[in-house]
Amino acid sequence: MDMPPILDNKNTSSPSVFVPSALLREARRQKQIPETPVPSVCVLDPDGDLVRALRASGTARRFPGWPCYHTELDIFTLAEQEIGIVGRVVGASFAVLVAEELFASGCRLLLSMTSAGQIVPSGPPPYFVIIDRALRDEGTSYHYMPPSEFAAADPQLVLAASNATSAAGPRVIVGSTWTTDAPFRETAEAIEAARRKGILGVEMEAAALYAFARSADVRILCLAHVTNTMGQDGADFEKGEADGTIDALAVLSCLIGAL
C-alpha cells in the first residue's frame, strides 16, 4: 500500500457533492421548521458543562429554528450579544459537521471551548490555551486540507484574542495542541513526541475545525481548557468553581467583545 486510505482520493480543492444546506433544507421540510438564521456568534461546548449551567440558571433557552438532526442549539446573552451554543459536540468529525451547519445557517464567528489534558506543563491546571495551531492526528482535517503536520488558526484572531485576555482574570496563554481521535490511545511514546514539539495539551477538535475554517474561509477560534494530567495525579479533572463555567464564560466574554 503506497498511500494509506485516509489520504487516498482526497481532492481537497474539489467541491463536495453533499452540502450542509441540502441537509438543512430537508430537515426543515421534514420537521416543518421555518428557515431562521442562527446568531452570528456561536460556541461549541464539547463537554456540555456550559450548556448545563446556562440552562440551570435559566439564562439559556432552546432555539426552535435549529434543524440539525443530532444536536440542540441554545441561545443566551454574553458581552451584550445574543450567542448560540451547542453542547456535547465531541470529536473532530462531529465538531466539523455541526460547524458546517452553523455557518450554512448564518454563523459568522465560531468559538470552541474544549477540555484538554496537559502535555507540556504551564503551571497547575486549570488554565486556558488559545490554540494557535493543532497537530493533525485525526481523520477529518485530511478531507479539507492537504497533508501537513499542523492546522493553524487565523493569526489575526489569535492576536486579538491574546490581547483581549491579557488583563487580570482567568489564566490564558497561547500555544499549540495535539488533536487526537483516540483519547484512550495516548501512549507514552505519543505523549513524549508531542512534548518534544512543545505541545501544551491534547484535545479532540481543533485541527479539524481549523482545516475546515481554512477550506471554507470562515472564522473559527479554538480554546483548550487544560483541566487534567490524563488521570496521572490524584484529584485530577478539576475544572474549578461551577465545573469551570464561571471562568470559561469570563474568557468567552472577553473574546466575543474583542472579535
Which tens digit of pLDDT belongs to each residue from 38-67?
999 999 999 999 999 999 999 999 999 999
**7 domain-assigned:** no
- CA 160/CA 223 separation, integer angstroms: 13
- Cβ burial of 103 (10 Å; 0-12, 13-18, 19+) is buried
Q: 184-237 pLDDT, tens per residue?
A: 999 999 999 999 999 999 999 999 999 999 999 999 999 999 998 887 766 677
> In the chain, what is the straight-line distance between the N-terminal and C-terminal CA atoms, in Å?
46
pLDDT at 14 over 90: yes
CATH number at residue 174: 3.40.50.1580
73-89 pLDDT, tens per residue? 999 999 999 999 999 99
Q: Is residue 15 part of a domain?
A: no
Does residue 19 sit within a domain?
no
Place of cell 496563554: 173
Does the residue 1 lie in any domain? no
**Which domain covers residue 174, as residue numbers?**
30-258
Any idea what DSSP says for residue 210?
H
Distance CA 211, CA 122 (A): 26
Residue with cell 484529584: 235
Instruction: Judge whether 160 lies within some domain.
Output: yes
Evaluate whether residue 23 is within a structural domain. Answer: no
Q: In terms of DSSP bridges, do strands 73-78 and 61-62 run parallel, antiparallel, or are they unpaired?
A: antiparallel
**3 belongs to a structural domain:** no
Q: How many domains does the chain have?
A: 1
Q: Say if 10 falls within a structural domain.
A: no
